[in-house]
Copies of this chain bind each other. A is one copy, B any other.
Amino acid sequence: MKRGFLLVVSGPSGVGKGTVLHDLMNTQKNLVYSVSATTRNKREGEIDGISYFFIDKNDFEKMIENDEFLEYAHVHNNYYGTPKHFVEKKIEEGKIVILEIDVQGAMNIKRNTDNGVFVFLAPPSLKELKNRIVKRGTESVEDIKIRMNNAIGELKYIDEYDYLVVNDHLNSAINSVNEIINAEKHKVSRSNYNFKEESEI
């Protein structure tokens, strides 16, 4: 069985990460979303082990102590984290594990694994990103300002990623991420090609 890998996808809010990844799930075989662990309460419709692994604070903190997370964060008095075990198990099964995460989380993961492929999804321009956020019509002027400042902060981390995909046209962006995944499957470091086992030629 050929090992899979972890595909870490970051990019500013509004750039279209969710749409790209959702469409990718329909075109690529062997993709699975990473399932995060959290200490927050389960909401209606959420399923343990699919939406999140819902665990209590004590267990989460024990897992932190035992170095069982690729990354974790403490947000609004709750923990969120990426359990190593889930990701490693899926990779062993040959799966490509998709993890959409902010740059801070991605940088933590980079320190904790050498089996990650890091993709940054960027807007064609900041102006276009602003247009997309404004078009949604759900954000106040103040919120838009915060989002744009966050975007500028995130874009500074591009150099830490392996690949840059500019989401200019959705189909072209999906296609590019698709090709990146297919190329990475051919990395020699992930290969199990073995010609030595042939006794006779």
> Which residues of chain A have a CB within 8 Å of any CB of chain B?
120, 122, 125-127, 129-130, 148, 152, 155, 158-159, 161-166, 176, 179-180, 182-184, 186-188, 191, 193, 195, 198, 200-201
Q: Determine which of B158, B176, B179, B183 lies in contact with A188 in the assembled complex, contact meaning CB atoms within 8 Å.
A: B158
List the number of copies, as a whole number: 2
5 contacts between A and B (CB under 8 A): A130-B201, A161-B188, A162-B187, A164-B188, A182-B183
Asked if A158 and B125 make an inter-chain contact with CB atoms under 8 angstroms apart, the answer reads no
Asked if A155 and B195 make an inter-chain contact with CB atoms under 8 angstroms apart, the answer reads yes
CB distance from A2 to the nearest CB of B (A): 11
Asked if B163 and A188 make an inter-chain contact with CB atoms under 8 angstroms apart, the answer reads yes
Q: Determine which of B125, B159, B186 lies in contact with A165 in the assembled complex, contact meaning CB atoms within 8 Å.
A: B186
CB distance from A27 to the nearest CB of B (A): 13
Give 12 A-B pairs besides A152-B195, A176-B183 with Cβ atoms closer than 8 angstroms: A126-B195, A129-B201, A130-B201, A155-B195, A158-B191, A159-B188, A161-B188, A162-B187, A162-B188, A164-B193, A176-B186, A182-B183
Asked if B179 and A193 make an inter-chain contact with CB atoms under 8 angstroms apart, the answer reads no
| Bound complex: CA A53 to CA B193 (Å) | 37
